[in-house]
Structure 1
Amino acid sequence: MPSRILTPRSRGFLFLDSHPAGCARQVRDMWDACPDPDPWLDDSPVALIIGSSSGYGLAATVAALKRARIRGIAVSFEKPPTERRTATAGWYRTAATARLARSIGRDMVFLNGDAFSDDVKEQVADLIERRFGGEVQYLLYSVAAPRRTDPVSGTTYASVLKPIGAPHRTKTLVFDEDGAPEVREVETAPAEGDDVEQTVAVMGGADWSRWIDHLAGKNLLSPGFSTVALSYLGSPLTAGIYRQGTIGAAKAHLEATARELDVRLGDLLDGGAVTSVNGAAVTQSSTAIPGIALYTGLLRGVLGEAMVSPLGQLVTLWDRLRGSARMGLDPENRIRLDDWELADEVQSAVAERWEAATTDTIADLADLDWFRAEVQRLYGFAVPGVDYGQAVETDVPWPAAG
């Protein structure tokens, strides 16, 4: 494919193309912002990161490689470039992450495939056995997907974003074709039929548990093995569509799965399982949820630079997993990385702005410039230091295993 000058073209918050140079620079900036490892971390444990190419999964991978000194396998599901379209942003970010891993001599294999499938699980198991000494010390699970096919039954489940029990009305933030912000009231119909069960089947803990079963069945989990699934709790302002809705039911199932796995792994390997409750961020998943865009923009308006990035949160998570910091579990056996967001004074300030938010006032209440840029950066645009007037090669290869 010839080099092209790429400009951001979108339908709402979804962009049609991604920018390779912007994605690469974004990963490089994350890498440079990540602190060096503690000097006493002189080993290189094997980790498996599932969902490694975007959002919190990408932050987990960068922090793991540079801060936690891990080696291992990263799994994601991305689309390659075609004659008409660029590759997905995660494709380019993975290529950039692989280059940085090689630059410090870190042995990391990046697999592109459906993490829900048994075929990918078998590929990972084979790599652990052949390349990484037959044992994995950490498994970090960060998967958000619209559907999942159960490898045993062949049934395909689809997740939905719906409240449970009654329609839910909320404010939400949209931008018109000229980029002007508008605050609207939207109503979402409640879940019906098997919507809750389908969403739990996709976004709950079933696949996470299958990963543990698959690797344990091949004796590939090390003594003291630890696993973490990333989750989100969120504000009371968004609870009606999120934590009290179908996605919330899936998150509750994920947390219940963690408690079950914690008992099993404790008995089997003196290991453990927890969920990590992360704070708000602009991600491809979050922008699809009614009200979340408005909430996140207002939160940034309140906190400014004090808002903790996904990288900052995942550095803290790896420090806790590797023993550089206290685990700090809540009564539900969850690592809490969202205290900066859910502090009473922060939520009170955001709630005041939420009540006052209209199309006429939103520019004074939310950090809209930051929010617009964050959405564009999901696709490699609006990244400082990138010349978007330059043509770029879009046919970037997936990183070879080496």
Structure 2
Amino acid sequence: MTERVIAPKNRGFLFLDSHPDGCRQLVEEMWGAVTAPAAAGGEGPVALVIGSSAGYGLAATIAGLARVGIRGIGVSFEKAPARRTGTAGWYRTAATARIAREHGRDMVFLNGDAFGDTMKEQVAELLAERFGGRLDYLIYSVAAPRRTDPDTGDLYASVLKPVGSPHTTRTLVFDDLGDPEVKEVTMAPAEGDDIEQTVAVMGGTDWERWITYLADRSLLADGFTTAALSYIGSPLTAAIYRQGTIGAAKAHLEATARTLDERLRKAVGGRAVTSVNAAAVTQSSTAIPGIALYVGLLRGVLGEAMVTPVGQLVELWDRLTGARPLALDEEGRVRLDTWELATDVQEAVTERWDTATGETVAGLADLDWFGDEVRRLYGFSVPGVDYTAPVETDVPWPLG
């Protein structure tokens, strides 16, 4: 037993420990937020979620389990408890596995490098031996700083930079007392092979490799459908996101979707799409300059009208399974971000963005909500959790 009291200790938006009970409660909240859930048990479609422990990948996993009754495999890369607690994703995965079992869902969770062929082999073996040798859906939601090419052994590292020229943006930070400050930060442009490196990590190469690996082993069911999760965002953040190095990777992801869609139509009558999700507070997004300010202002404008990640993924599953039409934009993308990019919403956010200062931002952005959302990423600020009580941190990875 390794019970101890876990207090939130952070460096900026990065927390050093995670709270197991808070992470468990968050998973239960997400499950409870899914409307019209599928009946318990049963032989639901077989799905693979790559990046199943955090952000939109976690939302895809929980929405798929609760709404559609999927069974199958979740893949993530998390750190086990040791001197510090396990990562939040470790505890969220344990909680997701438990609630899935309680509802009769056969879901296996694998921990390891999704970019490597060893993980692909493990998944292929499980699909063949446990799930009838067929895969109906694959959701790809991987956000990683680096990737090793399985063929060459080359290590690629992604960078967060504008393209062409330096870019100055406004960003939200908090001082040592927790008071908000709105600062300007200038980022140097991409140079050398920065774009190619970022595309190699965050583009569509690994997604396509997964599809090819499983197709070569005849594991794709007739009508197999795959979706890679993406983001476009506001013009306010475009220079550092959609028009920056990450944007180049997202463009590659979308081009990959078009290639895969044609392949899958011919091979199994299937589909491949990208799903453009809307803004949310995630461990990845908080690292991007300007995003914290933008999301806080967006919440200040919309309040409870913001659609949560699990709410967005419920809609995606409805479209993928045919419960709702699979409507696509002119680029072949599913758009779950229309509420965020509505003209009136963006005009209101832009007005607040232009006038926000350290003195006024608290009245323009929902900073209390934003702070709670950041802490909730690590299992803190969760109602109903006693943070003064010792909690067991040595939670095992769920066995298949």
Normalised by the size of structure 1, how large is the TM-score? 0.98
Is residue 64 of structure 1 aligned with residue 69 of structure 2?
no
Are 2:46 and 2:135, in contact at CA under 8 Å, matched by a contact in 1? yes
1:69-117 deviation digits (Å, cap 9, x = unpaired): 11000000000001x2000000000000000010011100000000000
The CA deviation at 1:52 is 0.3
Structure 1 spans left out of the alignment, 5+ residues? none
* 1:342-353 matched pairs, under 5 angstroms: 342-353=341-352
Contact 2:34 2:67 in 1 (8 A): yes
What does residue 268 of structure 1 align with? 267
Structure 2 match to 1:251: 250
Unaligned runs of 5+ in 2: none
The reply on whether 1:36 has 2:36 as its aligned counterpart is yes
Deviations 1:291-331 (A, max 9, x none): 00000000000000000000000000001111111111001
Shift of 1:36: 2.9
Q: How does 1:197-236 map to 2 (within 5 A)?
A: 197-236=196-235
Who is 2:309 aligned against? 310
For 2:326 and 2:353, how far apart are their aligned partners in 1? 33
Match of 2:18 in 1: 18
TM-score (norm 2): 0.99
Deviates more, 1:250-259 or 1:41-50: 41-50
- Checking the alignment, whether the CA contact within 8 Å between 2:76 and 2:113 is kept in structure 1 is yes
Show the counterpart of 1:363.
Answer: 362
| 1:159 equivalenced with 2:158 (yes/no) | yes
Residue matched to 1:320: 319
**Structure 1 counterpart of 2:174:** 175
* CA–CA separation in structure 2 for the residues paired with 1:115 and 1:301: 37
User: What's the CA shift string for 1:341-377, capped at 9, x where partnerless?
Assistant: 0000000000000001111110010000000000000
Measure, in 2, the Cα distance between the counterparts of 1:177 and 1:26. Answer: 28
Secondary structure in structure 2 of the residue aligned to 1:237: helix
Q: What is the DSSP-based 3-state SS (H/G/I as helix, E as strand, rest coil) of the residue aligned with 2:240?
A: coil
Quick check: 2:47–2:71 contact (8 Å CA) kept in 1? yes
Displacement of 1:2: 2.2
Equivalent residues of 2:74, 2:108 under 8 A apart: yes
CA shift, 1:37, in A, is: 3.2
Question: Following the alignment from structure 1 to structure 2, what is the Cα–Cα distance between the partners of residues 353 and 244?
Answer: 22
Q: Match of 2:294, SS?
A: helix
d(CA) in 1 for partners of 2:351 and 2:4? 46
State the one-letter code of the partner of 1:47. Answer: A
Q: Distance in 2 between matches of 1:188 and 1:334?
A: 30
Contact 2:199 2:252 in 1 (8 A): yes
The code of the aligned residue for 1:297 comes to G
Change (3 A) 1:375 1:148: same
Q: Distance in 1 between matches of 2:276 and 2:177?
A: 36
RMSD across aligned positions (CA)? 1.0
Paired residue type of 1:68 = V
* Corresponding residue pairs, total: 399
Contact 2:38–2:69, Cα closer than 8 Å, also in 1: no
> Offset of 1:165 from its aligned partner?
0.5
**For residues 179 and 122 of structure 1, what CA distance do their matches in structure 2 show?**
47
**Structure 1 CA distance, aligned partners of 2:9 and 2:143?**
24
Q: Is the CA contact 2:195–2:248 (under 8 Å) kept in the aligned structure 1?
A: yes
Deviation at 1:42, TM superposition (A): 6.9
Give the superposition deviation at 1:38: 5.9
Give the Cα separation in 2 of the matches to 1:350 and 1:309: 18
1:16-75 deviation line (CA, Å, top 9, x unaligned): 000000000000111111123367x97511000000001100010000001011100000
Do the aligned residues in 1 keep the contact of 2:38 with 2:66 (CA within 8 Å)? no
**Equivalents in 2 of 1:326, 1:270: separation in Å?**
17
The corresponding residue for 2:73 is: 73
Q: Distance in 2 between matches of 1:235 and 1:392?
A: 41
Distance change in 2, residues 1:113/1:210 (3 Å):
same
| Corresponding position: 1:391 with 2:398 | no
Letter in 2 for 1:14: L
Counterpart in the other structure of 2:334: 335
Q: Distance in 2 between matches of 1:120 and 1:101?
A: 22
Amino acid at match of 2:155: T
Matches within 5 A, 1:94-173: 94-173=93-172
DSSP-derived class of the 1:67 partner: helix
The runs of 4+ residues in structure 1 deviating greater than 6 Å are: none
Contact 2:42 2:104 in 1 (8 A): no
